[in-house]
Chain A
């Protein structure tokens, strides 16, 4: 057995806990999960049935663990892990599954197929066959955490410039973007880019929140790799920062995988060191509107709006009503996609797929069911509270001629706050011609 295979098998063994063994054993291969998967909906073939994908790992597992399979491999199609099999598994886990868990909720037994796909990703990461770009992005984030001084000065300079913009937008000369503020109540963790800093800064200032901006970004490519070591290293930067500043809660930018991991997984990785609440920016927006901390005009968004439930936020994260509450307060024509909420169809951009250029065509093809859903609503604005979903829906917009604008929830809230100036680069400045008249009425 060569080293690659040995490492992959070792990684599988190390992960075999009760939930994973259950997922590997429970499937009855009834095939009812087929239509739950957006890959199957877009291209109905056996290879796109979640149970079929999972079978590829099960065949390896059975070879190692099943008595009957050891005696009669043909009976259960068990097979020894070899390099072509590992390559096939890696391809499946990274390019044909976004870990959306729609198959799980549609399985009569509740088989957690994404758990198996994660197990494969872990095996691939351990064996060195995982997509290089994800490894590079994760390692870059880890490096940044080791020595933030290298880029910190430049970052602070950008923030000072952003502060000027913030004051122009809000008309408030005292508005600030505090960084590394000791004892602040909230540590807000953005994504890379001003678009996830400026709009929340407007909201935090308007609500007079006691907040500070993280010098790191919330994206965690180690999570996509299902590489616990890397994922933990990336998360440690923020956990350490939160502990150092003594904040009470971490607020995660509009990002699906970052929210799901910091809210539900990271507390388990840092037991004892994790003494703060984790919320999504969406929950904070809902709270501020509910408590009257920010004022929004209920008629501010007259265009038809629909909301895309990011799988990591809704089905895996439990953030289902909060965005709808916010949208209910700022829109006059809100249209649900069908199905929605926990049953929402994945857009196809999750699981790190957006970062993998080699699978772009496959990703956009698999996004067709989402594109059709959006089209059916007839909405002109699609709100997605996840950066990867927004990027994917942007691609779907072009490919399937959806003629929609894609926006973050916070951007829409800021627009509803009726500030002296619109946010730069947001839809308020780029309305469709026929909508300009409506909005300016």
Chain B
């Protein structure tokens, strides 16, 4: 048990360090300054990008692919829940049993959604054409991670596998496509800055 815990901890540290390296590398790159006369509001744009702009009805694409988008959201909720569960494992004994049952269902549903995503990457023509081996591996790895975390909350015999899979997942985060979790924040901030500055999102009535 202790070895697997240490393994997971080492994986977490390595993953965080890798993400930190990625972060510093990107932050060291030039950030262009914009000297054009501002029309809208940058902070409103960034707020929009992380809130209303993420709603499933906010974009034509997510309106068309509502189920796929919600599947993705559910899958990501599962990933973050699983990470949280692994980190707080030493304190599990203090949690009431109902929490475990809720977590089991959240992770169970997320695992099914993850597997659905993995299968879609194989069977759906467009997704298959877009997917790299890295994408297939990442979706199945995280699905496995969620699955063992979900099983671990109801069955102690899955705790060691959870730690081992966690270690692999954490290490892989900065190496493969999962690192988009870091660039998501950069991308949404740049989106908010660009469209907020130009009064496009959120869109005010320019002429009364």
Contact = CB atoms under 8 A, between A and B. Distances in A.
B39 interface: yes
B20 to A, nearest CB: 14
Contact of B62 (A27, A32, A339): A32
Contact of B34 (A35, A108, A268): A268
B125 to A, nearest CB: 7
Contact of A26 (B32, B129, B183): B183
B40 interface: yes
B198 interface: yes
Contact of B203 (A16, A33, A342): A342
B130 A16 contact: no
A422 interface: no
Interface residues of B, number: 61
B199 A318 contact: yes
Contacts of A67: 175
B1 interface: no
Nearest to A345: B60
Contact of A105 (B59, B132, B180): B59
A97 B207 CA distance: 31
A126 to B, nearest CB: 18
A393 interface: no
A76 B54 CA distance: 28
A29 B131 contact: yes
Interface in B172-197: 175-177, 179-180, 182-184, 186-188, 190-191, 194-195
Interface stretch (A47-55, A184-192, A196-204, A238-246): A47-55
Given A23-B187, A29-B131, A318-B198, A343 B60 contact: yes
A274 B137 CA distance: 51
Interface stretch (B63-71, B92-100, B103-111, B149-157): B63-71
A414 interface: no
A252 interface: no
B201 A342 contact: yes
Interface in B18-73: 22, 26-27, 29-37, 39-40, 49, 53-54, 59-62, 64-65, 68-69, 72
A269 B105 CA distance: 55
Contacts of B26: 18, 21-22, 25
Contacts of A277: 37
Interface in A11-67: 16-19, 21-23, 25-36, 46, 49, 51-52, 55, 67
B29 A267 contact: no
Contacts of B40: 318
Among A32, A52, A321, residue most surrounded by chain B Cβ atoms (within 10 Å): A32
B129 A46 contact: yes
A112 B183 CA distance: 12
A345 B59 CA distance: 13
**Would you call the interface of chain B mostly helix, strand, loop, or mixed?**
helix
A437 interface: no
Contacts of B72: 30, 108
Given A17-B31, A265-B36, A109 B175 contact: no
Contacts of B33: 268
A315 B195 CA distance: 8
A104 B62 contact: no
A110 B195 CA distance: 11
B133 interface: yes
Nearest to A260: B198
Contacts of B13: none
A265 B128 CA distance: 38
Contacts of B32: 17-19, 268
Given A67-B175, A106-B61, A22 B39 contact: no
A76 B130 CA distance: 11
B135 to A, nearest CB: 6
Among B22, B68, B137, B186, residue most surrounded by chain A Cβ atoms (within 10 Å): B186
A405 to B, nearest CB: 25
A9 interface: no
Contacts of B35: 267-268, 271, 274
A140 to B, nearest CB: 27
Contact of A111 (B36, B125, B135, B187): B187
A35 B62 CA distance: 10
B200 interface: yes
Given A22-B187, A32-B65, A76 B29 contact: no
B127 interface: yes
Q: Which 10 A-B pairs have the closest CB atoms?
A: A110-B191, A46-B129, A106-B61, A26-B183, A318-B198, A22-B186, A325-B207, A321-B206, A26-B187, A17-B30
Given A29-B127, A342-B203, 16 more contacts: A18-B32, A22-B190, A26-B180, A26-B184, A26-B186, A26-B187, A29-B131, A32-B65, A35-B60, A36-B60, A46-B129, A110-B53, A110-B187, A318-B200, A320-B200, A325-B207
Interface of B: 22, 26-27, 29-37, 39-40, 49, 53-54, 59-62, 64-65, 68-69, 72, 124-127, 129-135, 137, 175-177, 179-180, 182-184, 186-188, 190-191, 194-195, 198-201, 203, 205-207
6 contacts: A29-B132, A30-B127, A75-B176, A110-B188, A267-B35, A339-B60
